[in-house]
Amino acid sequence: MFTKRNGKEAEPSTSMGAPTGRSEREDRADLGGLAEQGMPVDRALLRMGAVSIVLGLLLAIGASFFHGGSPPDDLRAVLLRVAANDYWVAVDLAQFVGDVLVLVGLVALYRSITQGASAGASAALARMGIVVALVAEGVYAINQAVDGIANRFVAQEWVGAAPAERADAFRLADAVRHIEIGTSSLWTLSGGSPYSSSGSRSRSAERTQGSSDG
């Protein structure tokens, strides 16, 4: 809208545009404030996740040194090793705690990279990754219970069984061992999915950030 002063055409009036300018500035200030408030949370989550994952891996790897090793297809050797290991239950418990710490780190990672993304394929993929990670942890809990407690029990029963009962004790131990093999295989298959989802979500976030910067 133009106004005339002293017969000359004046510059466009900014009376109607001023509120819009102030509104835009206020919106930018609000967004900047939210970003500043969100940064400490992101860094805290990432730091907590990184520390938790590192501690979990160190605990699991350290406990594995006390787990011992023998040919997995030689059940008699496995049973003798399990029965002779006084730290067997504690080792399996330490491995489980280590895996829980890794899960805590993954959840913190997902929370940090999905803040503000409540819709879309990337957010759905991240949520699916968390669900799969929780399911995998449940399977691993069963696996460690079978390996740490049930295997230990049947191994001691077989070693201490009378000669007439050793065949039955061995068949029982073989059945328990196959349950552990099944749960371990299922955990191995499901355990990699959260990492794949995390990587896909991170790459998607990077592409989104690159598009906004461009």
Query: What is the rounded distance in angstroms from the CA atom of residue 103 to the CA atom of residue 137?
Result: 8
Is a pLDDT exceeding 60 seen at residue 17? no
Comparison of pLDDT for 37 and 73, the residue scoring more: 73
User: Taking the domains of the chain in order of start, what are their residue ranges?
Assistant: 34-195
Segment 97-132, tens digit of pLDDT: 999 999 998 888 878 767 765 566 766 777 788 888
Look up the pTM and report it.
Answer: 0.66
Buried b (16+ CB within 10 A) or exposed e, 143-179: bbbbbbebbbebbbbbeebeeeeeeebbebbeebbee
